[in-house]
Amino acid sequence: VEPAPGRRDMGGAVVGRETGVRPRRLRRTPGLRAMVRETRLSSEQLIYPIFVQPAGVALQPVESMPGVMRWPVDRVDEPAGEALETGVGAVLLFGIPPAKDARGSGADDPEGVVQQAVRRLKARWPELVVVTDVCLCEYTEHGHCGILRERRGTMEVDNDKTLERLAATAVSHAEAGADIVAPSSMMDDQVRAIRQALDAAGWEDVAVMAYSAKFASAFYGPFREAAGSAPAFGDRRAYQMDPANAREALREVALDVAQGADIVMVKPALAYLDVVRAVREAMALPVAAYNVSGEYAMVEAAARQGWIDRRAVVLESLTAMARAGADLIITYHAVEAARWLREG
Ligand code: PBG
């Protein structure tokens, strides 16, 4: 008896000819292809990261990320307005403070760059979804994601001291008007600490998008140039995840869900689509994938050489992230991709 032609153990030209199965029939025209497309990208699922620096500082391009700028607070309406106009779902704000210190004081300063930017954007466009990155690395002089202490003769990030700083930062972002706070420091218990602090301050309706499975990745290089946040010594492997670990990613995600995360994230995206898929299958809440700075830089570099078709590669990559199971995609290409999707 012939097995049914749709089964996974089937395939091959001979069987196809015998059964009359010809997958090419549904690929023949654009209309047919559109009709059976399994994954559809939409601009609302894209999140646009914006780097904000103090007002009055000149607009600065990020060298390793062509097309990406550091925006002075008084001009943050420009990129955010583009996001709104093209139908991008949300903006994600990163702060580049005027000064850095050991405890990252700029992070929870009510007059900090991110707090100012959120207030400004929400005053102009209350409907704009504003997400804020909650971490200390952009604000500490040593560039680590938390408060340091000496242990066994070496410096390390003090997990529980850092939690207080992250919680205060999240509350200050909520007070400024953020819809979603996104803790990215990979401290144990960071979601619980932030959730409890938000609730205690009356911000029970502010959501948490947790950078749950954030890997210690070399793909963050250009971001660290943009934010001046490269660690002054050592690396982040004692808090960010080992790129070799997928089961551990599920554990991190489960912990964040238990602690009250509303959205979980996998980061980076392209090299970690297996993790995105695994998280999607294990969890019911929205999953975000962060298409990080190094992924952006690689596309831009190859496109500049004329080695790849930029638009096609960007849309193919974003589609792959959605196909793997990402409901939300954070990408520096968000505004452009939204324009392309609109053009069709
Ligand atoms: C802050 C943070 C980083 C990124 C997002 N949030 C940098 C890091 O962990 O070193 C990276 C984003 C990117 O590379 O696009 N901790």
pLDDT digit string, tens, across residues 28-79: 999 999 999 999 999 999 999 999 999 999 999 999 999 999 999 999 999 9
Centre of ligand 1 from the C-alpha of residue 29, in Å: 42
In this prediction, residue 17 has a pLDDT band, given cuts at 50, 70 and 90, of confident
Centre of ligand 1 from the C-alpha of residue 220, in Å: 6
Centre of ligand 1 from the C-alpha of residue 333, in Å: 16
> Is 1.10.2020.10 the CATH classification of the domain at 40-343?
no
Residue 161 annotated as catalytic: no
Centre of ligand 1 from the C-alpha of residue 145, in Å: 10
Please choose from 47, 51, 114, 137 the residue to mutate so as to test ligand 1's pocket, defined by most ligand atoms within 8 A of CB: 137
Judged against a pLDDT cut of 60, whether residue 291 lies above it is answered with yes
Domain boundaries, the chain: 40-343
Judged against a pLDDT cut of 70, whether residue 15 lies above it is answered with no
Q: Is 122 in the pocket of ligand 1 (CB under 6 A)?
A: no
Q: Is 75 in the pocket of ligand 1 (CB under 6 A)?
A: no
**Helices vs. strands in the chain: H and E counts, helices first:** 12, 12
Q: Is 132 in the pocket of ligand 1 (CB under 6 A)?
A: no
In this prediction, residue 216 has a pLDDT band, given cuts at 50, 70 and 90, of very high
Strands 90-95 and 46-53: parallel
Q: Is 292 in the pocket of ligand 1 (CB under 6 A)?
A: yes
* 209 neighbors 131 (Cβ within 8 angstroms): yes
Please choose from 100, 131, 132, 135 the residue to mutate so as to test ligand 1's pocket, defined by most ligand atoms within 8 A of CB: 135
Q: What's the Cα-to-Cα distance from 185 to each of 120, 294, 333, rounded to whole Å?
A: 26, 18, 24
In this prediction, residue 16 has a pLDDT band, given cuts at 50, 70 and 90, of confident
Distance CA 186, CA 196 (A): 17
Phi-psi label, residue 208: left if phi above 0, alpha if psi -120 to 50, beta otherwise: beta
Q: Is 295 in the pocket of ligand 1 (CB under 6 A)?
A: no
| DSSP secondary structure, 173-225, as one string | HHHHT-SEEEE-S--TTHHHHHHHHHHHTT-TTSEEEEEEEEB--GGGHHHHH
